[in-house]
Amino acid sequence: MLKLQKVDVAYGGIRAVRHLDLEVFPGELVSLIGANGAGKSTTLRAICGLVPLAGGSIEYQGVSLAGKPSYTLVRQGLVMVPEGRGIFPQLTIEENLLMGAYSRSDAAAVAKETQAVYAMFPRLAERRRQTAGTLSGGEQQMLAMGRAILSKPELLLLDEPTMGLAPIMVEKIFEVIRGIAAQGVTILLIEQNAKLALELSQRGYVMESGEVILQGPSIQLLHDPKVRAAYLGE
């Protein structure tokens, strides 16, 4: 579904991503882990066309993404929940959710799925008329996830969905990710909690200084001595 070949991304004279090869197959949940500054978020931004490539290629469902404006990708089923959530703080919760469905014309289905999001996140239902900027960090992450669900993703890119959240909220967000994957949505997950990410995913990639240094089945990475020492605190 997603294929990156020899991808390079540069900021000024600095190569943030170097010769990156990465694949995600339909129905997979793939994790991308590494230290801060390893190039993980830059990789997702490159996939979405938010930063230009200095080299290499990116294909989504067999078609090159070169030259495709970012705003056209949602209609193709490629959706990202960015680091920092990217909600619209002056809009209400309900208005934020409906922004996720802006490209859809099936109003009845959108209304039904909005209720399903509210059932998934009761806190959002209770505050649906409240402006999103007044929500806690965890509630804003719920909102960002709900908005992404209403975009009907085929491939969902999640950039640090649990950053800064309390442990109980981390559990909730991972429960939601698990549920989205169970519905057949393909997911590429960047997550600071490497252990949880690898336990949830089928395959994983480890990035360091802009390069993939390890890849393989998640269970194999969980038991790799280098991964355990560097990212699992063991």
Predicted local distance difference test score (pLDDT) of residue 234:
56
CB atoms within 10 A of CB 28: 17
Q: Is the dihedral of CA 125, 126, 132, 138 positive or negative?
A: negative
Express each pLDDT in 163-178 by its tens digit: 888 899 999 999 999 9
Kindly report the pTM of this predicted structure.
0.93
Q: At residue 170, what is the residue type?
A: V
Question: Dihedral of the CA atoms 137, 119, 186, 162 (nearest 10)?
Answer: 20
Which residue ranges in the chain fall short of pLDDT 70?
A: 233-234
H helix and E strand count, the chain: 9, 10
Predicted local distance difference test score (pLDDT) of residue 8: 96
Residue type, 234: E
Length of the chain: 234
Q: What is the pLDDT of residues 33-64, one digit of tens each?
A: 999 889 999 999 999 999 999 999 999 999 99
| Alpha helix (H) residue ranges in 74-136 | 93-100, 107-120, 122-126
Question: Is the distance from CB of 117 to CB of 75 less than 8 angstroms?
Answer: no
Residue 28: predicted pLDDT: 97
The per-residue pLDDT for 99 is: 92
What pLDDT is attached to residue 65? 95
Residue 31's identity, in one-letter code, is: S
From the candidate CATH numbers 3.90.320.10, 3.40.50.2300, 3.90.1150.10, 3.40.50.300, the one assigned to the domain spanning 2-231: 3.40.50.300
| Distance (Å, whole) CA 31 – CA 193 | 11
The pLDDT value recorded for residue 102 is: 87
Hey, what's the torsion of the CAs at 58, 64, 68, 72, to 10 degrees? -100
